[in-house]
Chain A
């Protein structure tokens, strides 16, 4: 089976791009959630010894990169491309995280869909013969994000019940082609930016659900798959409210979800004990839950085929003040354990 374009939106990675290692770094709140034990490194606090949150985020992202290379037993010199993403203006977390790494760097941005976008970009380079080893790493930090997108952190703001909490976390994956192990990324579907008119900066879950529905539908069509081909469909950060909107939108398109449909943001926190309203959001949401919780349990047989649909709300604070709405995009990667 060779790599090829599939339909109008998708890519088949042929024999598959191997995921040979992963790493996760999370803040204390994420470690205190129900998935705490699946994360590799836990920060003692949200500062991690840095003077500002932007510095903390870069430090987290850098550590995720260094850990994943260690886990893959690779030297930086062996890595052909590192693809990173974060939520801050000018991708500052990325730039400062990689500035001492002697590795070719591509920075990508699609808000919280960045991890899947990174895997797609790296995957295309790998199967295209332009690289044989790549690292994909992304991060988000709650306070750095709040400060930029919404309000100063000590301001007494009351968030509505559909709001989400940006995850403080970084996740990285080490990719190789040809794949040395059976765990591979075999398929991907590229997202298209859509805008369904959502103007509330707290309403990201709803803003992203149509993009997720669109990408899932395209994926199933391009590959001729039923939705239950996958044991688990995992969205990035729709939150509990956005997830239910997605389920209903899919049903209205004739796709009844008869397999596990979960959302990283809804899984990462205990919504009863932690004040996160609809759940987690941010690049850290999909990156930590996928690279920690999911990838650690696939070898144990919990799932064999997982579709990660990373969702991004392309929120521009400037444009929202100019009375524009918030467009969104969703990129999907299909991961599986190949039969030998």
Chain B
């Protein structure tokens, strides 16, 4: 059942992040960076696709997926355009998320005041 797998895989990834945060000197920002890099690396070796098939949203919701979509976008452009694809493909798939976060960030800043 895909909900169960999403819960199990997604929860595990988050718990791993918590473990790193509590037992090392890494800040949460460091952990997020580490996970996104792992996402890219696992995509490069073809493993993240398998994780997505297994965990569904459990693998696509964590920030590691950002590494996956960046890498996939670049790969698709590399195949099409050669080495220039390293640059042109970067935001192919991730662009919508980045545009969204900028626009929603702006909107929230206009609409809401920080409460502390």
CB distance from A301 to the nearest CB of B (A): 39
A146 to B115, CA, bound (A): 13
Structural contact, B116 and A152, CB atoms closer than 8 A: no
B114 CB-CB contact with A under 8 Å: yes
Q: Is residue B91 contacting chain A, with contact meaning CB distance below 8 A?
A: no
The answer to whether the Cβ of A1 comes within 8 Å of any Cβ in the partner chain is: no
Chain B positions 10-42 with a Cβ under 8 Å from a chain A Cβ:
21, 25, 28
A200 to B114: give the CA distance in the assembly, Å. 26
Contact A158–B21 (Cβ < 8 Å): yes
Task: A64 to B72: give the CA distance in the assembly, Å.
Answer: 60
The residues in A between 134 and 162 inclusive whose CB is less than 8 angstroms from any CB of B are 142-143, 146, 152-154, 157-158
Query: Using Cβ atoms and an 8 Å threshold, which residues of chain A touch B25?
Result: 199-200
Whether B116 lies near A143 (C-beta < 8 A) is yes
Q: In the docked arrangement, what's the CA distance between A143 and B114, Å? A: 10
Docked-complex contact A153 and B114, CB < 8 angstroms: yes
User: CB within 8 Å of A: which of B58-116?
Assistant: 114-116
Is A53 an interface residue, CB under 8 A from the partner? yes
Counting chain B CB atoms within 10 Å of each CB, the highest count among A154, A157, A199 belongs to A154
Q: Cα distance A199–B114 when bound, in Å? A: 29
List, in ascending order, chain B residues with CB within 8 A of A158's CB: 21, 28
**CB-nearest residue of chain A to B21:** A158
A92 on the interface (CB 8 Å rule)? no
**B21 CB contacts on chain A under 8 angstroms:** 158
Q: Do B116 and A46 have beta carbons less than 8 Å apart?
A: yes
Contacts of A157 in B (CB 8 A): 28
Interface string of A85-125 (1 = CB under 8 A from B): 00000000000000000000000000000000000000000
User: Are the C-beta atoms of B115 and A153 separated by less than 8 Å?
Assistant: yes
CB interface residues, A 152-191, toward B, < 8 Å: 152-154, 157-158
- Does A154 contact B114, Cβ atoms closer than 8 Å? yes
> In the assembly, what is the distance between CA of A146 and CA of B114, in Å?
12
Q: Interface residue count for A (Cβ, 8 Å)?
A: 12
CA distance A158 to B14 in the complex (A): 14
What residue in chain A is nearest B116 (Cβ atoms)? A143
* B108 and chain A: residue at smallest CB distance: A154
Inter-subunit contact A142/B116 (CB<8 Å) = yes
Residue of A nearest to B22 (CB): A160
Report chain A residues within 8 Å CB of B116: 46, 53, 142-143, 146, 153
Could you say which residues of chain B place their CB within 8 Å of the CB of A152?
114
Least Cβ–Cβ distance between B114 and chain A, in angstroms:
5
Alpha-carbon gap, A158 to B21, bound state (A): 10
In the complex, A153→B115 CA distance in Å?
8
Q: How far is the CB of A154 from chain B (nearest CB, A)?
A: 5
Across the interface, which residues of A come within 8 angstroms of B114, CB to CB?
A: 143, 152-154
- Are A154 and B28 in contact (CB-based, < 8 A)? no
**Sampled A-B contacts (18; CB under 8 Å):** A46-B115, A46-B116, A53-B116, A142-B116, A143-B114, A143-B116, A146-B116, A152-B114, A153-B114, A153-B115, A153-B116, A154-B114, A154-B115, A157-B28, A158-B21, A158-B28, A199-B25, A200-B25
Interface residues of chain B, those whose CB is within 8 Å of chain A, are 21, 25, 28, 114-116
Rank and list the top 10 A-B pairs by shortest CB-CB distance, nearest first. Answer: A143-B116, A153-B116, A153-B114, A46-B116, A154-B114, A142-B116, A157-B28, A152-B114, A158-B28, A53-B116
List 8 extra interface pairs beyond A199-B25, A200-B25, CB under 8 A.
A146-B116, A152-B114, A153-B114, A153-B115, A153-B116, A154-B114, A158-B21, A158-B28
